[in-house]
Structure 1
Amino acid sequence: MAQFVAYQNPNPASREQLPYLLDIQSNLLGREFCDLTHYRSEIIAAVDFVLSGI
């Protein structure tokens, strides 16, 4: 299962504002753009902050 992989945004309507999407769960978005696994701790901390405010 892909985790912490960035993909190019396949949606033309939002691609200009959000050129890349970060997949934190599975590889449902197609071809990988880059692997951000080495930023795992920072990504988890950011998601925790967004979801819980801590």
Structure 2
Amino acid sequence: MTTQRKAYRASILHSVADPKDVGIDESLTIRFEDRVLVVENGHVVDLGHADARY
């Protein structure tokens, strides 16, 4: 099986509820600035600060 890995550099938003149910301001609790999100075979395998990790 071939492993597919991709990295995305961006700001990451953490949502604790569906915005359509509680509103956008109530659904967001944490915003991570300048992060790298690593996805392998469709699953998140790593999240870290871009300068420190990559």
TM over 0.5: no
Give the number of the structure with larger relative contact order, counting CA–CA contacts within 8 Å between residues 6 or more apart.
1
TM-score by length of 2: 0.28
Structure label with greater radius of gyration: 2
TM-score by length of 1: 0.28
Query: If each structure's strand is expressed as a fraction of its own residues, which one has the higher value?
Result: 2
Query: If each structure's helix is expressed as a fraction of its own residues, which one has the higher value?
Result: 1
